Structures are given as C-alpha cells and as structure tokens.
Amino acid sequence: MTEAADRRMLEALVCPVTHAVLTYDADRQELVSKAAHLAFPIRDGIPVMLLSEAREVD
C-alpha cells in the first residue's frame, strides 16, 4: 500500500465514540479524536479503534 493510499484510509476513519473526524499524529503513531479526548494507537500500520486501547488526551 502506498503512502497516499494509507493517508486516504486514515482520512476515511472516524471516532468510534463520537463519529467525529480524527487527526493523525505521526510522531506518536495515533489517531486523535479531539471531540472524545481520546487517542487510538496505530500498531504495525493498523489503527486499533477499540475504546479499551485508547488513551485519554487533554
């Protein structure tokens, strides 16, 4: 999968809690939901969109 395809896939994902847009944090390899104050990890290139795996953010 190309970087452009990866970016499009990430842009298509929404927060599983609020259905709001997510932002990509490349440094931390996370997808951040500002609406829910949660960050979902990306492991081995796969977004883990489970509430039990998310961490709270300010």
For 24, the token pair is 């990509």
The pLDDT assigned to 38 comes to: 98
Which pTM does this prediction carry? 0.84
CATH class of residue range 3-56: mainly beta
Report the C-alpha dihedral over residues 30, 33, 39, 43, rounded to 10 degrees: -40
Look at residue 1 in the predicted model and tell me its pLDDT.
53
Helix, coil or strand: residue 53: helix
Positive or negative torsion for Cα 17, 24, 11, 34: positive
Q: Which two tokens stand for residue 13?
A: 């994902």
Tell me: the pLDDT tens digits for 3-54? 766 777 777 899 999 999 999 898 999 999 999 999 999 999 889 999 999 9
Q: Is the pLDDT of residue 2 over 70?
A: no
